[in-house]
Amino acid sequence: MIPFVKYAKYLLAVSTAVTIISFASLFVWGLKPSIDFTGGSLLEVSFSGAVPDNNTVATTMKSLGQENVLIQKTNDNKLIIRTAFLDENQHQTVLKGLRAKFETKDNKVNEDQFETIGAAVSSQLRQRSIIAVILVVFSIVAFVAYAFRGVSFPVASWKYGVTAIIAAMHDVVLVVGVFAFLGHFHNVEVDIGFVVALLTVMGYSVQDTIVVYDRIRENLLHRRSGNFSEMVDIGLIETLMRSINTTLITMIPLTALYLLGGSSIHNFALALLVGIASGAYSSIFVASPLLAYVDKYQNKKK
């Protein structure tokens, strides 16, 4: 039998270090919010020929009255231009100005996307995103506490929920840290899709953890002999291949989406890839060992 709990302190030390680094990335660099959270307008244009460099486009936008713009070049001959709020007249003026400057017989400028979000809407989206995360956390703790009410000894049922949330937050913080890094060095922005990905990661992580916890519960109900740490090790061994197989099967289509899905879902797929891989790790090496440490702490306190 693999003594997971015995060596858990080393794995938890690694997880703690990763969490600290992720928090440091978040506080030092922060996330780069998209138009969903800041408000403004987004114009996506494609070129049939060569794409002009960002500085030239920025100079052109400035001549059109748009001082503060963010310009991002994609891999498929496109530019994503973010500006302050543009009404329809300003939108058409900018589009005509870009075509007058860059369009030639061999290089057509096409508008692929234009969207505008007001400041009030973006503020509301931020508030609702925070509320959604908080509600999910409390709902998960309540559900797990209720589901495990039959095994409140030696560890109280609500503590199963708390340790599951700690493991899930480990995964969420890792995803946030990765995107803080990417935002600082590669201008990767976070949008509503990113919030959806975080909630999905939390749900997946907790679901994977509950599978392990459920097996521990069955062992506690049917194998009264042995200490709690042994029950945790047995539960982990019995569910290990299931967790690995489920994660691999989930990551195959996500990898396809990341590589082939296009720029619109590129970051969404990346967030899920990072979070689900971390979720498989945390359910085995974070959540369950934490549960064993809770039992050890209670015994020591007694």
The vertex-34 CA angle with 182 and 275, nearest 5°, equals 50
Does residue 273 sit in helix, strand or coil? helix
Q: What percent of the chain has pLDDT over 70?
A: 93
State how far the alpha carbon of 83 is from the alpha carbons of 20, 43, 72, 87, 268, in Å: 34, 8, 12, 11, 23
Tens digits of residue pLDDT in 188-243: 888 888 888 998 998 888 888 888 888 888 887 776 556 888 888 888 888 888 88
Please state the pTM of the whole predicted model. Answer: 0.79
Residue 57 has pLDDT above 70, yes or no: yes
| Residue among 270, 272, 209, 265 at smallest CA distance from 242 | 209
The encoded tokens of residue 240 equal 């290990």
| Cβ-defined contacts of 95-100 (< 8 Å, 24+) | 95/43, 95/45, 97/60, 97/61, 97/63, 97/64, 98/45, 98/57, 98/60
Tens digits of residue pLDDT in 5-47: 778 788 889 899 999 999 999 999 999 887 777 778 889 999 9
Residue 121 has pLDDT above 70, yes or no: no
* Residue 226, pLDDT score: 62
The encoded tokens of residue 295 equal 């039992």
Domains of the chain listed by start with CATH number: 8-34+121-301 (1.20.1640.10), 40-117 (3.30.70.3400)
Cβ count within 10 A of residue 198: 25
The encoded tokens of residue 2 equal 């693999």
Omega cis (within 30) before 52: no
Do the Cβ atoms of 177 and 135 come closer than 8 Å? Answer: no
* Residue 9, pLDDT score: 83
